[in-house]
Structure 1
């Protein structure tokens, strides 16, 4: 049996039915008047909560629900969840919305609250369910398209792009500035900055063309788009355009403080005027403090956190940065592949090295690795410094030692770090610099094997690199492994042309009978691949000499096979004799003594005898032989030929 309605509530309902009150303030007054008579009137509390929601007084709404207790919360779950979401209590809003069965309104609240808690997978799933059903209210379909585009962009930023519904903007996304802006954000999150720049310009044009918005409203919508455009221009290297754009941005008029702060930070990056690091440090911290309803997403906060450390380093606050970054690192387990933790580790190393580089930095940073041996950010910093100092062997040894230590661990997190694609790519690149192809192939094969057994969706880039390396081997086992890798990639995505090409190549070598005609037919024909290659011109040009095997200057040949003429060396006039004749051939033995020259002929009897005595291997005269064979007086011992010196102070020497 339904609970009886009180007299105050009955009068309030009668009043609301008999009037056409559009002013929410008037509705609020009527509800307050009813509650003065009966404080626990449930109907009046509900009406008051809805009126406050329309007035965007969300903290007051929550106070009404607290005063109304569980009865009001149970009756108005949708309003309660929405109030929690708008007041910044997104986690509680998700719990309330999940407990409500049915209702498109509460599903919208759930999706938006999940979005703010950065549970983008849940938000994407809810919007997918809502899009699959018929819209209940006007413009709901447009709202779903806008919000779904925002979720897709966030999935890309967080590394979950494979869950995004759209990878490329559709035609309907170009019809409204909100959808065009979200499509631009999606392109930017994938690193497609050129496409992002085009879509941002499209969003600005669509916004300026709206007739139902005032100039002030257009300006409020355009400012976040312009802030995003500055970031894109900086990434494209168009710093001058970004700086010019920043000059005209009224940062104080940006309503969202989170967006204002990002705009000011990007303006510092684009500006050539703020060369004083201490002034830049003050401008960086000039944004007012944000409330809990206007916070950055985690990936934004991490970058801004690193920017703050960079500003401190430029201001020579080395000790402060070293201490704060060390505390942050100690709060997280190691080894970790978290980008923010490893980036902070790099800044910690910079603080200890006082922004030095090269060998001076290594001297200060290497002792830190003894204290934090599993710090990947620190490890990669030292590796990079070794590479910059051309000490590739030390860099390779450092990574190999780290890998061996992690392999001995039985912890899954340690093994995940051991086979992290970024670390594997670093070591393989170093192997390539040293020409160690077998080690590169072995490392890639081990990593591919690990991730194939570890995850249903192994990293594609790593798997492709491993499969390509194994295809170059002559070992049947390696070729079979390459076929398995490309087969797994093909199962994940049947449109992956790299996987198809690898699978066809592996089967063509190992077992041509397994070749699928459909797969072979899906590959581009050879005629199209070589259509722009002029084989006759290549054959006529000849084969170029590789730079790895330098050829002497006199033997270098051009692509046409002609010998390059050797340029004569110019001799200074100061080094030439006064009677030098350039037309006369110079004596090639002019640097040898006269007696050593091939054409030397001494004059006279004495000269001929001297020449014969100097000739190596010539006949020796009897006089010379006798002189050599006679004993000579020795300089030591008591010989009779040695005379005594006179005694006294005046002895003869």
Structure 2
């Protein structure tokens, strides 16, 4: 052993840093002479890792024993990570304290989808780059931020908008695009993906083959974004530029295959599509997709089965999967399975026919969040908001009465509370809105101080609603809510504004000072301009309807046809303005004859009736109208009718 170490050391001094094959040969030769030579075994491990022979490195660790694993624990954790054993790699790396261990643990945590811990480690590494490549660290940190967004942990992301330096390399631009896509900003994601593609094509130090390999994930992501934006023609055209067989990564190849099938503009055989999309994700290991990708792929598989009219099989398989997860729960995947199960149960029916088949499922799964929300949505689409409100209210009351901690978390989840408040608001039930907000705020205030962004948003909405109440208790609760939110984050302007509105003596540095707001206001100019007056009650009502483009266009004057014009029509002669009035109401009217003259005089204001005029008679005196005697013929007829039996 003593003779092998100097020989190996001299070889390492003479060898080039890239000549790992020679180093490996020398290490193997030393190990043959002494199997327990830890130094030679360590050198062999390093050589195998530099040659990307990770599986051989793990095998060497297993044959070397625990002492070798303890001596080269950093290399051991890295080898495990590269061979897909990320959980064990993270556990081993977490025991070390050096910067190298933090790198390995951060990467292993990323692969095990512990993105919160991975973000914490990269934040520590990014505080001081030391000898690390700054660009590589930024790339990894951008990837972690994108995964946080995908997994609903966007409140942990410190940089939402990409900086200028993020647009200087295609890797960072691609990660920034993924973050925008995860937030639902598809247009921004499309722009950043195009930027990443242009930067990759502009690189001169990459060969054509390397550029193709780097552009593959960018192209796959572009197809997804174009499909989400409804640009099916562009997505279909871009999908045909990819050679699926040339993608080395199994999960990327499968995702590209699914996106290509989804981007087809023309209608294809749904049975062929279902066969193409259906694949066991577990078979893709170690290059298996992340959980959020797996959930989407499974939903796509169920969607193709529904298109292929496989209702019974889909209903049975989704029901089995739903039972494996205790209810109620807020798991997005299992709640989406409830939606698929409802569609399969309805067997293509819509409206009332679908509700007749889906509503009975509530008796079997009364705590299924996805099923309840599906039924509520169907009621709303059918125009039955009262039944939708009653269904969700009954579901919420059942969870509240159960007293179970998990059930209460679901009951007062921001999504459930927001949906119920929206239904109350549409029905005009203001009191129910305030009561629901008050109950939700009281519940979450009793929980831990560190709340998620969704809960904080719910508390802000509750405080805003309670401020509009006439009850002093509601005002007090609103003030307490905003005090807690402001204490949690003094830079939160919404919380500061709410605290100022709920408390008379409250000031915050987060709000713009009043002096700055009124600094550019000229008081004299305002006084000279006068005060705007409200319209009077007798004035005409002002409508706020927006006029269409047709109404704003000047109307063309229609030319009257010659046959519709009067015989004596003259364009140069001004028409009589009183031509629309009756003849006797015109100013030029002059009655003829004594009778018409007397009638005209009688209608004049202040004129007395002409009793001596010919054809006139005195007016009927006021009072009750007295019925006169009947004429002789009529009286005789009545007398004859009165005879007979009495």
TM (norm. structure 2) is 0.79
Q: Specify the SS of the correspondent of 1:22.
A: coil
Instruction: Check the 8 A contact 2:177/2:189 in 1, yes or no.
Output: yes
- How big is the shift at 1:290? 5.1
Q: Which moved more, 1:155-164 or 1:143-152?
A: 155-164
Q: 2:338 aligns with which of 336, 340, 345?
A: 345
Deviations 1:198-222 (A, max 9, x none): 2212211211111111111111111
Q: 2:439 aligns with which of 426, 440, 446?
A: 446
Deviations 1:274-306 (A, max 9, x none): 432112123324799854231111111111111
Q: Specify the SS of the correspondent of 1:320.
A: helix
- The corresponding residue for 1:130 is 125
- The corresponding residue for 2:172 is 179
- The corresponding residue for 1:69 is 65
Aligned-partner Cα distance in 1 for 2:334–2:208: 44
Q: 1:55 aligns with which of 51, 57, 75?
A: 51
- The corresponding residue for 1:36 is 32
1:114 aligns with 2:114: no
- The corresponding residue for 1:634 is none
Aligned-partner Cα distance in 2 for 1:227–1:283: 17
Question: CA distance change for structure 1 residues 264 and 518 in 2, over 3 Å: closer, same or farther?
Answer: closer
Aligned-partner Cα distance in 2 for 1:537–1:247: 65
1:413 aligns with 2:406: yes
Question: CA distance change for structure 1 residues 500 and 29 in 2, over 3 Å: closer, same or farther?
Answer: same
Question: CA distance change for structure 1 residues 280 and 523 in 2, over 3 Å: closer, same or farther?
Answer: farther
1:97 aligns with 2:93: yes
> Please, which runs of 5 or more residues in structure 2 have no aligned partner?
522-530, 546-550, 552-579, 583-629
Deviations 1:131-162 (A, max 9, x none): 2234124xx22111111111111112212222
- How big is the shift at 1:381? 1.2
- The corresponding residue for 1:435 is 428
Question: CA distance change for structure 1 residues 496 and 354 in 2, over 3 Å: closer, same or farther?
Answer: same
- The corresponding residue for 1:212 is 205
Aligned-partner Cα distance in 2 for 1:608–1:523: 101
- What CA RMSD, in Å, does the superposition of the two structures yield over aligned residues? 3.3
Matched ranges for 1:537-616 at <5 A: 543-544=541-542, 609=634
- The corresponding residue for 1:88 is 84
Instruction: Check the 8 A contact 1:448/1:463 in 2, yes or no.
Output: yes
Q: 1:23 aligns with which of 19, 23, 27?
A: 19
- The corresponding residue for 2:221 is 228
Q: Specify the SS of the correspondent of 2:344.
A: helix
- The corresponding residue for 1:473 is 469
Question: CA distance change for structure 1 residues 473 and 26 in 2, over 3 Å: closer, same or farther?
Answer: same
Instruction: Check the 8 A contact 2:146/2:178 in 1, yes or no.
Output: yes
Aligned-partner Cα distance in 2 for 1:542–1:149: 60
Q: Specify the SS of the correspondent of 1:61.
A: helix
Aligned-partner Cα distance in 2 for 1:620–1:249: 109
- The corresponding residue for 2:371 is 378
Question: CA distance change for structure 1 residues 608 and 335 in 2, over 3 Å: closer, same or farther?
Answer: farther
- How big is the shift at 1:444? 1.6
Q: How many residues align?
A: 552
Deviations 1:236-259 (A, max 9, x none): 333332222222222322222212
- How big is the shift at 1:445? 1.9
Aligned-partner Cα distance in 1 for 2:164–2:642: 111
Deviations 1:174-206 (A, max 9, x none): 221111111111222222222222221221121
Q: Specify the SS of the correspondent of 1:513.
A: coil
Instruction: Check the 8 A contact 2:281/2:288 in 1, yes or no.
Output: no
Aligned-partner Cα distance in 1 for 2:92–2:286: 18
Q: Which moved more, 1:34-43 or 1:316-325?
A: 34-43
Aligned-partner Cα distance in 2 for 1:128–1:523: 39
Q: Which moved more, 1:292-301 or 1:45-54?
A: 45-54
Q: Specify the SS of the correspondent of 1:519.
A: coil
- How big is the shift at 1:97? 0.4
- How big is the shift at 1:13? 3.7
1:170 aligns with 2:166: no
- The corresponding residue for 1:521 is 513
- The corresponding residue for 1:596 is none
Aligned-partner Cα distance in 2 for 1:218–1:608: 120
- How big is the shift at 1:163? 1.6
Question: CA distance change for structure 1 residues 526 and 249 in 2, over 3 Å: closer, same or farther?
Answer: farther
Aligned-partner Cα distance in 2 for 1:179–1:326: 42
Q: 1:296 aligns with which of 289, 298, 319?
A: 289
> Please, which runs of 5 or more residues in structure 1 have no aligned partner?
530-534, 548-557, 559-582, 586-604, 613-618, 631-653
- The corresponding residue for 2:589 is none
Aligned-partner Cα distance in 2 for 1:620–1:420: 90
Instruction: Check the 8 A contact 2:493/2:510 in 1, yes or no.
Output: no
TM (norm. structure 1) is 0.78
Question: CA distance change for structure 1 residues 402 and 8 in 2, over 3 Å: closer, same or farther?
Answer: same
